[in-house]
A and B are shown apart, each in its own frame.
Chain A
Amino acid sequence: MAEAAIASHPRRNPISRLWNDKQSRSVIIQVITISLVFAFFAYIIHNAVVNLQAIGKGFSYNFLWQPSSYDINQHLIEYDSRSTHFRAMLVGIINTVLVAICGIVLASIVGFILGVLRLSKNWIVNRLAYCYIEYVRNVPVLLHILLVHGLIVHAFPVPRQAISIGDVTYMTNRGIFSAKPIYEPLFLVVVVLFLFSLAFMWWFKRHAKKVQDETGQRYPVFWIGLGTIVGMPLVAFFLLGSPISWDMPELKGFNFTGGMVIRPEFIALLLALSLYTAAFIGEIVRAGILGVYYGQTEASYALGINRGRTLSLVVIPQALRIIVPPLTSQYLNLTKNSSLAVAIGYMDIVATIGGISLNQTGREMECMIIVLALYLVMSLIISAVMNWYNKRIKLVER
């Protein structure tokens, strides 16, 4: 190809010869593009550094080791106002990850149910799901967050008039206060037993499948699993004399103390994010199921396979191939949308290191770089996991 081009224009100068060659032209364009992109970023970064120097503000992360001097209401690790900004950042990361994981699980469950309801032959069910999806996905998620939070704060009573559920759990607009288990040493036995039964069932399931493949004989795997995973630890728990005690919440002054609490900010953010994302997932699931040729379902029925097994053996595995790639974007969206948390005071990454820490120390550039990097890392991890899963369920071509 290259020789032909040169041969046909023997008198052109070398530069136009390079340009006329398809391969070298694409290399030239790529080199120019990349240099321009790098030059642009180099200029931006250089400019920022020079200007920070001009006003005498160095670029430094030393502030991370100073005491943060502020409190955070939801911290799953030890934290108080004497802890460092770095630790405040960790608290923020954990809070973001917590709401993202819970949100992804809940959104997936609700989304799959919605998707199936959307395909229901029952007109009312079908229309209800349709209305829900159209309403939810056409209203900005920030409004959902504020709405759900407002509903919780206004609908639930103040602590003094808390709704008591068996004197163990109290529902208030400051959160759901509940008894907190305190594990005694013997409880470890129950945990070990539980893990052991999980491992056993993993092996047993494979074994059962092998037996079925070879002999056609089927074990009641589900019931054996239930008995092993739930039953065995439960029996051990009572035989050991219930090695667990409870820390009860108690109304003292303004609020409940003791026990454990789920804050309304967490509930509101979780519900708003997952119900919002579920609407999108519902449509993705519907598209996935509709994307599997109906003839296959009919063929499966013709073989005498019942409806449930047709779904789980024929339709879902193929639908997943269509569902998973767009589902990844929804998971990423949910995680990134969690940065709206600060509107209702949920202390995520943006509210801690990208909010109060930034403001106390005035290190906008440094804090924003951390926040950007953290969201990038989280998104890349989600993508990596989902791509791995996608590869696993991909059509195996022979």
Chain B
Amino acid sequence: MLKSIKIAAIATALSVAGFSANAATLDDVQARGELNCVVTTGLAGFAAPDDNGRWDGFDVEFCRAVAAAVLGDGEKVKFVPSTGKTRFTLLNSGEGDILFRNTTETMSRDADLKLTFLPVNYYDGQGFLIRANMGIGSASELNGASVCIQTGTTTELNLADYFRANGMSYEPVNIETNEEGIANYSGNRCDVYTTDASGLASTRAALDDPSAHVILPEIISKEPLGGAVRHGDDQWADIGKWVVNAIINAEELGITQANVGQMCASAGDNPSINRLCGTEGDAGSWIGLDNKWAVRAIETVGNYGEIFERHIGPNTPLALERGLNAQWKDGGILYAAPIR
């Protein structure tokens, strides 16, 4: 803990030396030949090193997509692990160029912390994990419960608001790391563990006997998770924004990792696909890149649906349904702005 304070203090004090001029993050990244991407210290499915030490996960794929678009190679990413506390400092101090770290977009972070949020890549909400044998079926029955929380998130605030609004009391146990939080929940220090529903699914999958735990149906908050960049470099923000949009649009247009080469080989009959592929129009130059930026991103990571299936979908240990994160045509709210 002391260490992370020191790091935070140093990073703050040096918000500072590493911090160069606002503009031209793109030039810096291209000159460096490497994208510094701020991710979590490890959350299964979203961002964690795999057995070979290679970072992998839902958020990681978005880092790689941006690297592919900007540098032409999805492997040219340096991952900067961060805690809930240090993530914005790392971004604002210039240690990271872009942040993909299950980060909720809020007004204070956008306006007060001076971040620019990229389009939402996962619609989440805070939920509760509880032992099945407690016989609790709804969050409204949680009066008096002890609740374990991972500190350094928007979670404490939602929790306080929810219990207050419903006239219930609870005992908060604020733990520094996810691992310690889970250890306390498993040790029965808490009746309930709370964090974003996606995180709960990840946590539940990692427990000894996942079937002995249930996620309560109530979602008590809106957590639109997305990437972010520093305020003040609009070109760089546009690159991040349109890479995410391109990945979401690709699914809508039926472009996949497998068929992108063939579909984008030459201009076809569908102008929307042509514009995404760069075979029509001049979208690349608008964001300071060449016209194949989106193709490279999709070749590297695939479209939104593929990323979802690979890391957090029903066939993974996390077993998350698409739900809100389905395309707008399929009953979800994923609705990316068009590329034109």
Asked if A339 and B2 make an inter-chain contact with CB atoms under 8 angstroms apart, the answer reads: yes
CA distance A139 to B273 in the complex (A): 62
Flag whether A47 is at the interface (Cβ < 8 A): yes
- B1-34 residues at the A interface, CB under 8 angstroms: 1-2, 5, 8-9, 11-13, 15-17, 19, 22
| Among listed B58-66, B173-181, B288-296, interface-contacting one | B173-181
Asked if B152 and A359 make an inter-chain contact with CB atoms under 8 angstroms apart, the answer reads: yes
Closest to B113 in A: A362
Asked if A153 and B188 make an inter-chain contact with CB atoms under 8 angstroms apart, the answer reads: yes
Report the tally of A-B residue pairs with Cβ distances under 8 A. 157
Which residue of A340, A360, A365 contacts B2 across the interface (Cβ within 8 Å)?
A: A340
Asked if B19 and A54 make an inter-chain contact with CB atoms under 8 angstroms apart, the answer reads: yes
CA distance A90 to B152 in the complex (A): 19
Given known pairs A51-B15, A354-B5, the reply for A153 and B189 (CB within 8 Å) is yes
Flag whether A264 is at the interface (Cβ < 8 A): yes
- B81-118 residues at the A interface, CB under 8 angstroms: 84-85, 88-89, 92, 108-109, 112-114
Q: How large is the interface on B (under 10, 10 to 19, 20 to 34, 35 or more residues)?
A: 35 or more
Chain B residue contacts of A176, Cβ below 8 A: none
Flag whether B153 is at the interface (Cβ < 8 A): yes
Closest to B17 in A: A47
Flag whether B241 is at the interface (Cβ < 8 A): no
Q: How far does the Cβ of B193 sit from chain A's closest Cβ, in whole Å?
A: 13
Asked if B13 and A356 make an inter-chain contact with CB atoms under 8 angstroms apart, the answer reads: no
Flag whether A225 is at the interface (Cβ < 8 A): no
Asked if A362 and B19 make an inter-chain contact with CB atoms under 8 angstroms apart, the answer reads: no
Chain A residue contacts of B148, Cβ below 8 A: 345
Asked if A343 and B92 make an inter-chain contact with CB atoms under 8 angstroms apart, the answer reads: no
Q: How far does the Cβ of A99 sit from chain B's closest Cβ, in whole Å?
A: 15
| Among listed B44-52, B157-165, B206-214, B322-330, interface-contacting one | B157-165
Chain B residue contacts of A134, Cβ below 8 A: none
CA distance A345 to B187 in the complex (A): 14
CA distance A80 to B231 in the complex (A): 34
Flag whether B235 is at the interface (Cβ < 8 A): no
Closest to A352 in B: B174
Asked if B108 and A361 make an inter-chain contact with CB atoms under 8 angstroms apart, the answer reads: yes
Asked if B151 and A351 make an inter-chain contact with CB atoms under 8 angstroms apart, the answer reads: yes
Asked if A255 and B157 make an inter-chain contact with CB atoms under 8 angstroms apart, the answer reads: no
Given known pairs A73-B171, A350-B1, the reply for A158 and B188 (CB within 8 Å) is yes
Q: How far does the Cβ of A155 sit from chain B's closest Cβ, in whole Å?
A: 10
CA distance A72 to B152 in the complex (A): 14
CA distance A192 to B175 in the complex (A): 43
CA distance A348 to B183 in the complex (A): 21
| Among listed B121-129, B139-147, B259-267, interface-contacting one | B139-147
Given known pairs A44-B13, A55-B232, A356-B156, the reply for A265 and B1 (CB within 8 Å) is no
Flag whether A11 is at the interface (Cβ < 8 A): no
Which residue of A57, A339, A343 contacts B114 across the interface (Cβ within 8 Å)?
A: A57
Asked if A48 and B189 make an inter-chain contact with CB atoms under 8 angstroms apart, the answer reads: no
CA distance A90 to B84 in the complex (A): 23
Flag whether B191 is at the interface (Cβ < 8 A): yes
Closest to A157 in B: B188
Asked if B12 and A365 make an inter-chain contact with CB atoms under 8 angstroms apart, the answer reads: yes
Asked if B144 and A252 make an inter-chain contact with CB atoms under 8 angstroms apart, the answer reads: yes
Asked if A69 and B161 make an inter-chain contact with CB atoms under 8 angstroms apart, the answer reads: yes
Given known pairs A73-B171, A173-B189, the reply for A55 and B156 (CB within 8 Å) is no
* Closest 4 A/B residue pairs (Cβ): A81-B160, A70-B156, A362-B113, A153-B187
Given A55-B22, A355-B85, 15 extra CB contacts under 8 A: A48-B13, A51-B16, A55-B114, A69-B157, A82-B164, A253-B144, A255-B171, A340-B1, A342-B151, A345-B173, A351-B174, A354-B5, A360-B156, A362-B113, A364-B11
14 interchain pairs (CB within 8 A)?
A: A48-B12, A57-B112, A70-B172, A72-B174, A81-B160, A254-B146, A255-B145, A264-B189, A343-B176, A345-B151, A347-B174, A359-B153, A361-B112, A362-B112
